[in-house]
């Protein structure tokens, strides 16, 4: 009886090891293809983001580095997500990749709706940063405040009002309607 149990265990272990080795042999081409793809994707994404960073650095001045970093990060996330979905497809998990892509689309839609004000502030901030008529030191009248522009950031603009107080306003509110005050308007 003991020899039967021992033989059963030995046969089970032998069969398991044989099936494991066979699985490795069948998976090796997909794993190798996946590793080659990851190496190519890494190099490609690094080159693309490097070119994008140099291009944006040429367009935006140094004080707007945050805009460059944001653009490169967003593009990098999209590229790596696409590479991950492609890798799943290479490994034979195309249905999972399709499901993840669809789910990510719905999540992105929900996040963009939830963050719509922040996105509006960021887009307006980029426009304000690029506008040569709206720079720190300018006297500006905007809907909620009139004063000197102290700082323009991606999501908010800081003003110094006539009382000397710092007033922080969301960029979407500033960008809607503002007027640059001239010296003759103050007199």
Q: In the 3-class helix/strand/coil scheme, how is the chain assigned residue by residue?
A: CHHHHHHHHHHHHHHHHHHHHHHHHHHHHHHHHHHHHHHHHHHHHHHHHHHHHHHHHHHCCHHHHHHHHHHHHHHHHHHHHHHHHHHHHHCCCHHHHHHHHHHHHHHHHHHHHHCHHHHHHHHHHHHHHHCCCCCCCCEEEECCCEEEEEEECCCEEEEEECCCCEEEEEHHHHHHCEEECCHHHHC
Same structural domain, 166 and 92: no
CATH code of the domain in which 163 resides = 2.30.30.60
Tens-digit pLDDT profile for residues 63-115: 778 888 989 999 999 999 999 999 999 998 989 999 999 999 999 889 888 88
**8 within a domain of the structure (yes/no):** no
State whether 77 and 150 are in the same domain: no
Question: pTM here?
Answer: 0.62
57-67: average pLDDT? 84
**Whether residue 110 is found in the same domain as residue 146:** no
Same domain, yes or no: 98 and 141: no
Residue 186's pLDDT band, with cuts at 50, 70 and 90, is very low
Are residue 49 and residue 82 in the same domain, yes or no? yes
**183 pLDDT more than 70:** no
Domain that holds residue 37: 27-114
The reply to whether 36 and 96 lie within a common domain is yes
Q: How many domains does the chain have?
A: 2
pLDDT per residue as tens digits for the range 102-159: 999 999 889 888 888 998 998 998 889 888 889 899 999 887 789 999 999 888 999 9
Q: 109 and 34 in one domain?
A: yes
């Amino acid at each position: 009886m003991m020899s039967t149990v021992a033989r059963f265990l030995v046969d089970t272990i032998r069969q398991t090891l044989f099936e494991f080795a066979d699985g490795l042999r069948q998976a090796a081409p997909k794993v190798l293809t996946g590793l080659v793809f990851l190496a190519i994707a890494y190099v490609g994404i690094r080159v693309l983001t490097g070119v994008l960073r140099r291009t944006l650095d040429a367009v935006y001045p140094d004080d707007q580095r945050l805009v460059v970093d944001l653009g490169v990060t967003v593009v990098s996330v999209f590229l790596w997500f696409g590479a991950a979905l492609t890798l799943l497809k290479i490994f034979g998990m195309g249905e999972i990749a399709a499901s993840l892509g669809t789910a990510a689309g719905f999540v992105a839609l929900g996040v963009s709706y939830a963050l719509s004000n922040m996105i509006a502030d960021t887009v307006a901030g980029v426009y304000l940063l690029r506008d040569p008529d709206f720079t720190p030191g300018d006297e500006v009248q905007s809907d909620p405040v009139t004063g000197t522009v102290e700082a323009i950031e991606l999501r908010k603009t800081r003003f110094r009002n006539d009382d000397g107080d710092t007033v922080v306003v969301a960029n979407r509110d500033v960008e809607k309607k503002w007027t640059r005050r001239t010296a003759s308007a103050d007199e």
